[in-house]
Amino acid sequence: MITSHQLKNGLTILVEEMSHVESASYDLMLPGGFICDPADRIGAGLILGELIGRGAGPLNSRQLSDAFDDLGIRHGEGVGSDRYAMSGSLVSDSLPRALELLSWMVREPHLPEEEIPNIQSVLLQDIDSLSDNPARRCMVELSRRYYPAPYNRPSLGEADGIKKTDRETIQSLWKRMFSPRKAILSVAGKVTAADVIQRVERLFGDWEGEEVSIPAFGALPKNEYFHIDFDSSQMQIVLAAPSVLFNQEGYYSGKLAVSILGASMFGRLFVEVREKRGLCYSVYARHGSTTSYGTVTAYVGTTPERAQESLDVLLRELNGLKSTISAEELDRARTNLKASLIMGEESPGARAGSNAQDWWLLGRIRPLSEINAEIDKVTVASVDEFLSRFPFSPCSVLTLGKHKLSVPTGLIG
């Protein structure tokens, strides 16, 4: 059973009671994220996300870390594109203490100035080490070019912005961003709703703050083919094209279309690019949507001599999907999606996360039966209709490796 309760200050509490587990998890989401970083200090949010763990409430950095570890609480604090997120998993007896520590980090962080250079140093090392992981690097480079500002900001921050961030920036960012308005605290596991709500009310009830304004998602930049020269064994090839929004008609048709194309082992890309031709180890297509934008991404990593053929086959499959899908293929993708929804939510951590995500996007939690009914409604015709609206081309293409590839002019559009 899931209970929701909103505090007067705007914080929504979601609790799912799970009787068959010993653990519990929490997930706190605050609107903000790196799209809200000051334009000349991209990466400030990352520093803030780190700094709240370096001393809060009555505890200094060391004591705070020890307080989590004393109870074996696995926790993480971070920043995403449009939110700050704090989560933790623990043996359920430790939940009261975990929520207390969380409230201190959110409401009374010390934000110690002397820690900032240390955090900056690690974040700059992170940016440096991106070249040592070409598959990750090509995604960062594509996002930078494909999305409009500020949504194109790299999740690792910018070196300049990180260096420029000082305590004042952090202090003002914290004041502006850490607000209960539209915040969601989701808890799941061996807990009782009444107890959690009462506790959260006591810890967060008198928290105040203004609503955070999130920049709107603007128009996508013109599509292009980008190439980055890099001396590596494999070439990275990645494409991105717009897709349906999360709350829009045809969302599940889009999700299933991309699954037919690029889901792990039964998808057309895996079968055609890897199984039948042995062109690569890794190939996939993914679908990601929020309520403001949707994207289909397709990826293949392969050695330079086989890169052109890999791209050609990839494009042939993308373009050849419409009007060729069989009912059997669709059913396979449907079964798969439904099974992954069930299996993906076995743990309290997954439940807390997905409840929070639903609330974040829709202001309510959809029962599984409702999602399944939506998935059942998808037909071959509705997938084809999706493909007419979002044909994967024009798209943007990025390659990272030893040489450029030939990209059909019509593809970029």
Per CB under 8 A, contacts with other proteins among 345-404 are: 345-349
Nearest CB to other proteins, comparing residues 172 and 335: 335
Which of 4, 152, 155, 232 is close enough to bind other proteins by CB under 8 A?
Answer: 232
Spatial separation of the C-alpha atoms in residues 200 and 413, rounded to whole Å: 52
Which residues 260-299 are close enough to bind other proteins by CB under 8 A?
Answer: 263, 265-266, 270-271, 274-282
Is residue 93 close enough to count as binding other proteins by CB under 8 A?
no
Q: Determine the Cα–Cα distance for residues 74 and 67; give it in Å rounded to an integer.
A: 11
**Angle, CA of 138, 116 and 208, to the nearest 5°:** 95
Q: In whole angstroms, what is the distance from residue 24 CA to residue 287 CA?
A: 30
Name which of 180 and 348 has its Cβ closer to other proteins.
Answer: 348
Single out the segment in contact with other proteins by CB under 8 A; choices: 194-202, 226-234, 314-322, 369-377: 226-234
Beta-bridge partners for 91: 23
Q: For residues 380 and 257, give the distance between their C-alpha atoms in angstroms, rounded to a whole number.
A: 9
Report helix angle 251-262 to 380-389, nearest 10: 90
Stretch that binds other proteins, among 71-79, 150-158, 175-183, 206-214 (CB under 8 A): 71-79
Closest distance of CB 238 from other proteins, Å: 15
Residues 6+ apart with CB under 8 A from 169: 38, 41, 44
Nearer to other proteins, 17 or 224 (CB): 17
Residues 176-215 interacting with other proteins (rule: CB under 8 A): none
In the complex, least distance from residue 169 CB atom to other proteins, rounded to whole angstroms: 18
Contact 355, 14 (CB under 8 A): yes
Return the number of the residue (93 or 370) whose C-beta is nearest other proteins: 93
Spatial separation of the C-alpha atoms in residues 113 and 168, rounded to whole Å: 9
Q: Which of 275, 252, 408, 277 is nearest to 330 (CA)?
A: 252
The Cβ-side half-sphere exposure at 38, using a 13 Å CA radius, reads 19
Helical residues (DSSP H) of 165-320, grouped into ranges: 167-177, 193-204, 251-262, 268-269, 307-319
C-beta of 55 vs 180, nearer to other proteins? 55
Which residue, 159 or 220, is less far from other proteins as judged by CB?
A: 159
End-to-end, the C-alpha distance of the chain in Å comes to 49
Residue with tokens 């929520």: 99
Q: Rank residues 179 and 259 by Cβ distance to other proteins and give the closer one.
A: 259
Q: In the bound complex, what is the minimum distance in angstroms from residue 236's beta carbon to other proteins?
A: 9
List the interface residues with other proteins, window 96-135 (CB under 8 A).
115, 117-122, 125-126, 128-135
Site for other proteins in 235-264 (CB under 8 A): 263
Among positions 58, 72, 320, 363, the unique one binding other proteins when judged by CB under 8 A: 72
Beta 396-401 vs 225-229: how paired, if at all?
parallel
Distance in Å, CB of 230 to other proteins, minimum: 7
Residue with smaller CB distance to other proteins, 31 or 349: 349
CA distance 301 to 284: 10
Binder of other proteins out of 87, 223, 234, 253 (CB under 8 A): 234
Q: Say how many residues touch other proteins, by CB under 8 A.
A: 72
Closest contact distance (angstroms) between CB of 124 and other proteins is 8
Residue closer to other proteins (CB basis): 52 or 333:
333
Q: Which of 240, 258, 285 is nearest to 145 (CA)?
A: 240
Q: Hey, which residues does 25 pair with through a beta bridge?
A: 89, 188
C-beta closer to other proteins: residue 127 or 412: 127
Of 223 and 259, CB closest to other proteins: 259
Question: Which 46-65 residues touch other proteins, going by CB under 8 A?
Answer: 61-62, 65
Applying the rule CB under 8 A, the residues between 4 and 23 that interact with other proteins are 20-23
Q: Under a CB-based contact definition with an 8 Å cutoff, are residues 317 and 261 in contact?
A: yes
Burial call 255-279: b when 16+ CB within 10 Å, e when fewer: bbbbbbbbbeeebbbbebbbeeeeb
Q: How far is the CB of 249 from other proteins (least distance, A)?
A: 25
Amino acid letter, 381: A
Q: Closest distance between other proteins and the C-beta of residue 95, in Å? A: 12
